[in-house]
Amino acid sequence: MSAAVVETVDAAGTVDSAGTVDTGPARLGGFKRSSVLALLVVLIGLLGATGSASAQTETPAAPTATAGQPSGPTGPTEPNGVTVTVGTPEKPSESIVILLLLTTLSVAPSLLLLCTSFTKVFVVLSITRNALGLTNVPPNQVLAGLALFLSLFIMGPVVSEVNAQGVQPYLSGAKSQSVAFTDGMKPLREFMLKQTRPEEIALFTKVAGDAKPANAADVPTTTLIPAFVLSELRAAMLIGFVLFIPFLVIDMVVSASLMSLGMMMLPPVTVALPFKLLLFVLANGWGLLITALVGTYT
């Protein structure tokens, strides 16, 4: 037993007197080399992990354009925004002129109905249609168009004065907005004052609680416009009364004739309509009516 142990120990190393096994120089050298290799492997692994992490966090550089390759669009060199110019005191800017033009176009129908001859002309044409016994002939679109063109003929001189005194000086920068508006309203006020009865002006002055104006120039525009409209309606109804008389006579004659003939079931309006149309056409009714309407303003 002891001989076998001695042989095994001799093969591995030597044993001293205390029983310690001596592994020998070769065995120690191999252990040191394996430890160094393991340490190198660990260091290489740590360096590789650090390099991959830094590569992931690094931002890739933007590609540079090469010769012959189109480059991307460049960014704006000036700050974005909306620029609004109001012009100079001598001349207004185009944006202000366009804004005023759009505002004028939006309120143009009201100005056309209230401050011109359109109201009276349209009412007279409508009364004429009713006096003839026609409900939808001519239609409202035709009457409105005819009244519009007649108003252009009547208001032509007034519009020219407004353009010469207010619009053109403002566009050229010779007058400010307030001065141009005041000067442009003068021809229109003169036109309305000529067609307005003093009774209507006194009525609206009393309703407004204002003092009695000393002259026509002291009448406020807010009082003049409704007084002008009432005067136009009054004149239109007087003209309509005169138009109704001949057609009313025709209705009465036709009705009496049917009663005398015993034709009570036949509507007199249906029988009288052809005679009304014939009388209106033979008397040149449209020409006389338009001439009378235009003559009330000249």
pLDDT in tens, 121-142: 999 999 999 998 888 888 999 9
Whole-angstrom CA distances from 211 to 15, 121, 216, 226, 260 are 142, 33, 13, 17, 62
174 in any annotated domain:
yes
Task: Retrieve residue 241's tokens.
Answer: 């009364």
Distance in angstroms (rounded) separating the CA atoms of residues 273 and 110: 36
200 in any annotated domain:
yes
36 in any annotated domain:
no
Q: pTM, whole model, 2 decimals? A: 0.62
**Residue span of the structural domain in which 113 resides:** 107-126+139-295
Model pLDDT for residues 15-56, shown as the tens digit of each residue:
444 444 444 444 545 555 666 666 666 667 665 555 554 444
Task: Name the domain count of the chain.
Answer: 1
Task: Retrieve residue 153's tokens.
Answer: 């003929």
Average the pLDDT over each of 18-27, 68-77, 95-104, 160-169 and give the range with the smallest value.
Answer: 18-27
Identify whether the C-beta of residue 224 lies closer than 8 Å to the C-beta of residue 193. Answer: yes
159 in any annotated domain:
yes
